[in-house]
Chains A and B, each alone.
Chain A
Amino acid sequence: MTEKKLMKGNEAFGLAAILGGARYYFGYPITPQNEVTEYMSRELPKVGGAFLQAESELAAINMAYGASASGGRVFISSSSPGIALMQEGLSGLASIEAPVVVLNVMRGGPGIGNIQPGQADYFQATRGGGNGDYHLLVFAPASIQEAIDMIMEGFNIADQYRNPVLILADGMLGQMMEPVQLPTGEGVYSLEAMLKTKPWALSGHEGKRERNAIKSVYLKQDLLEQHVETLWKKYEQAEKELVDWEETNLEKAQVVFVAFGTTSRMVKEAMAELKNMGLETGLIRPKTLWPFPYKAFDNLWEGTKQVISCELSKGQLVQDVALGVAGRKPVHLIQRTGGMLLTPEEIIEKTIQIIEGGE
Chain B
Amino acid sequence: MKPVFEVTRGMRDQETHYCPGCTHGVAHRLIMEVLDEKDKLGETIGVCPVGCSILAHQYMDVDMIEAAHGRAPAVATGIKRVHPQRWVFTYQGDGDLASIGMGEIVHAAHRGEKFCTFFINNAIYGMTGGQMAPTTLIGQKATTAIHGRDPKLTGSPIGMAEMLSTLEGAVYVERVALNSPAHIRKAKKAITKAFEIQHQGLGFAFVELLSICPINWGLPPREAIKWMEDNMIPVYPLKCFRSPEGVK
Contact = CB atoms under 8 A, between A and B. Distances in A.
B79 A59 contact: no
Contacts of A70: 45, 78-79, 82-83
B65 A214 contact: yes
Given A204-B43, A205-B62, A62 B81 contact: no
Chain B, interface size: which category? Answer: 35 or more
Interface string B77-101: 1111111001000000000000000
Q: Is the interface of B mostly helix, strand, loop or mixed?
A: helix
Contacts of B43: 204, 206
Given A55-B103, A214-B64, A214-B65, A65 B42 contact: no
A88 interface: yes
B75 A63 contact: yes
Contact of A59 (B45, B81, B107): B107
Interface string A61-91: 0111111111110100000000000001100
Chain A, interface size: which category? Answer: 35 or more
Contact of A215 (B66, B68, B76, B77): B66
Nearest to A66: B78
Nearest to B47: A66
Interface string B32-71: 0000000001111101000000110110111111111001
Given A59-B71, A66-B77, A214-B66, A24 B82 contact: yes
A21 interface: no
Nearest to B78: A66
B104 interface: yes
Given A55-B103, A207-B41, A213-B57, A63 B81 contact: yes
Given A58-B103, A203-B83, A96 B44 contact: no
Contacts of B78: 24, 26, 62-70, 72, 74
Interface string A8-43: 000000000000000010100000000000000000
A94 to B, nearest CB: 13
B65 A208 contact: no
Contact of A67 (B12, B42, B79): B79
Given A24-B78, A66-B47, 15 more contacts: A26-B78, A52-B77, A62-B104, A63-B81, A64-B78, A70-B79, A70-B83, A89-B71, A202-B65, A202-B79, A205-B41, A205-B42, A206-B42, A207-B42, A217-B55
